[in-house]
A = this chain, B = another copy of it.
Amino acid sequence: MVVGVWLVGARGSVAVTSVVGALAVRAGLAEPVGMVTEALPLRDAALPSLSDLVFGGHDITAVPLGKKAESLAAAGVLPAGIVASLSAELVALEREVQPLPVGETPWETAGLIAADIARFRERHGLERVVVINVSSTEPAVSDHPAHAELAVLERALQSGEQVLPGSALAAYAAFRAGCAFVDFTPSTGARLPALEELAAREGLPYAGRDGKTGETLVKSVLAPMFAMRNLRVRSWSGTNLLGGGDGANLVDPAANAAKAGSKQRVLKETLGYQPQGHSLIEYVDDIGDFKTAWDLITFTGFLGVGMRMEFSWHGCDSALAAPLVLDLARLVAAAHAAGRSGPLTELAFFFKDPIGEVPHGLADQWALLSRFARELPDA
């Protein structure tokens, strides 16, 4: 089952790390460390293999993939040797990564996006394509009546109204092109009633939102620990220092708020109450892709005794995200092939802000994911 992976933001750090990683593992240059679908029990599931993936995408910048890969190597995200070995393949891939098209109206833009994806599918004789949004986080978007109903939305798009942010237009175009969609960012994406209506009508699955790679991942195991032990968490305060493209973008307070919001939700969901404290995001250019998060947790034990825990997480964001992007491409393609449509709540394991009424503790999400993978029909 050859599967297309269409990356929105294909020249960004996460996208290029994903592509270089897939090529490297395929070529035997690296181990698939960090890929959930390459370890037991998911390794035994009926999934397209890594070598079945074909990459393409859109971006608004024209920085060559090879250049981006080299700068990621200089920053310590990618091994320089691997980037050098793959330089020819990266040049060849240039042809599949196109500038984001712009039409007269959003309607027309969506048509152009869908057409690019369709041509990609035909060019490679692909059975199906998974569209994955890994572009820059957008500012939070305000409600609009056109979000509520597909018919109203389409009329607005035709009339030239800018009612959808880029991520949602990408989801709309993906569904129109008959593709599954994955929201790896905290942006709007497919999460509007009108788009859910479209996905349902077209029988297409989607997953999201916001890849869970660092501080929130740790929270999703520590918060359940406090809950299981009936210890009362009083405050949980986090600071995330990060540089890189994603960090620079988050200097915008609106984008920052969108991201910080979803970072405390796991606490409410797993503890059953919201402790005091906030999760701050702070841009520090020098820190680059090697984000540092620090969290302080104060809690009360037996007879009211106060205690504390703190942790620092020094993770390379793109290297944590990329293997999950590949996992998601495989899992969502298999779900699509199996006839699933609508939200894939079983993939909550991968997301900070998962869709639907799902568990927020990592272990429960893992159980859900494992069962989902086990039950996938053989292709």
Residue numbers of A with Cβ under 8 A of B are 17, 20-21, 24, 30-36, 38-39, 76-80, 82, 217-218, 220-222, 224-225, 228-232, 234-235, 237, 239, 241, 276-278, 280, 282, 284-287, 290, 292, 294, 296, 298, 300-305, 307-316, 319-320, 322-323, 349, 361-364, 366
Contact = CB atoms under 8 A, between A and B. Distances in A.
A336 B143 CA distance: 60
A33 B235 contact: no
Contacts of A32: 230
B77 A305 contact: yes
B298 A286 contact: yes
B307 A316 contact: yes
Contacts of A222: 218, 221-222
B302 A322 contact: yes
Given A225-B217, A230-B38, A282 B286 contact: no
A39 B222 CA distance: 18
A212 to B, nearest CB: 9
A303 B229 contact: no
A303 B21 contact: yes
Nearest to A284: B235
B309 A309 contact: no
A277 to B, nearest CB: 5
List the number of copies, as a whole number. 4
A298 B287 contact: yes
Contacts of A302: 17, 21, 30, 33-35, 319-320, 322-323
Contacts of A323: 230, 301-302
B284 A230 contact: no
A309 to B, nearest CB: 5
A214 B80 CA distance: 30
Contact of A286 (B276, B280, B287): B276
Pick the 7 closest A-B CB pairs, nearest first.
A363-B363, A311-B311, A39-B230, A34-B302, A305-B319, A221-B221, A234-B286
A341 to B, nearest CB: 27
A230 B34 contact: yes
Contacts of A35: 230, 302
Contacts of A218: 222, 225, 309
Contacts of A305: 76-77, 316, 319
Contacts of A30: 302-304
Contacts of A276: 284-286
Given A30-B304, A33-B231, A301-B319, 20 more contacts: A31-B304, A34-B230, A38-B230, A77-B305, A79-B304, A218-B309, A235-B286, A239-B239, A276-B284, A276-B286, A294-B296, A294-B310, A301-B316, A307-B319, A307-B320, A309-B314, A310-B312, A311-B311, A311-B312, A362-B363
